[in-house]
Amino acid sequence: MDRLPALQRPRPLEPGARVGLVAPAGPLRETTDLERAIENARSFGWQPVAGDHVLDRRAYLAGRDEDRLADLDRFARDDAIDGIWCIRGGYGAMRLLDALDYDAWRRHPKALIGYSDVTALHAAIGCRAGLVTYHGPTARAVLTPFSRDALMGAVTNSHACGGAPGATILRQGRARGRLVGGNLALVAALAGTPFALPLDGAILVLEDVNESVYRLDRMFTQLRLSGALRRVAGLAFGAFTDIPDNDVLEARPLAELLEEVADWCDVPCLANIPMGHIDDQWTIPLGATAVLDADARTLLIE
């Protein structure tokens, strides 16, 4: 199976790093979100710099596309900014992909941190700028000791991921490849676009929230029918949380669906790694080369 080369890592976020705070998707619910984001950045010894439009609101978006884009591009172009931390997810990052200044990310490689809807930015910047990005907590999150340690370890290149003793083995085996993925809804939505994730030889990590099992089934089936799952090297499922009650369709256990997907791919597979809309989550360096050992329940970064 072909192997995707590892991408360039951004410079570490050490104490004193200047970190831009952006809202590239959904609006902040209240100013305390921004205040918590600032305090979180300072708690790592970083100097937070809030984007000009982080408190904007336009229905379900954090302001106009051009303004959210302006904050991202401003920080991407500024070599005095060492990293960019997304304050929240929601929806809207996908609307910016065809206009992002990817050349700025190539000229000034820096950490991008976030998850959920930020998956769109991870996919596009990884592909277009050849840069490792960090699937980790948003800046407004209430960080547990586990998540704090995982985030700091990843962005300083000291440690990332590791053992997942609570994970479930769906298919045994060992796989090596580039880490790709994030939120399933975004991975599926990008299929068939110029920003679709390259999955050949990859270790695909996925999570989601607020989706019925039949909707998850539909998204997985879309990826299968597109051919995207044909040559993955390994699978690691995170948490699929807050699955709504379904009053119309007969319920199907999530575990049964994940086992079916693992059978489709016929590769080493774990479920329930610490990834997703959960308190204790890894910060995963997407684009880095990793080894998934399903038997040992580990995901180790090289």
Question: Catalytic residue numbers?
Answer: 116, 207, 277
**CB-count exposure of residue 300 (10 Å: 0-12, 13-18, 19+):** middle
Strand (E) or helix (H) holding 179: strand 174-183
Sign of CA dihedral 24, 30, 35, 40: negative
DSSP annotation of 9: P
How far apart, in Å, are the Cα atoms of 297 and each of 7, 237, 265, 294?
25, 12, 18, 5
Q: Which residue pairs from 146-153 have beta carbons closer than 8 angstroms and sit at least 24 positions apart in sequence?
A: 146/274, 146/279, 146/280, 146/281, 147/279, 147/280, 147/281, 147/283, 148/43, 150/274, 150/281, 150/282, 150/283, 151/44, 151/113, 151/283, 152/44, 153/283
Q: Are 230 and 264 in contact (CB under 8 A)?
A: no
Indicate the SS3 state at residue 80. coil
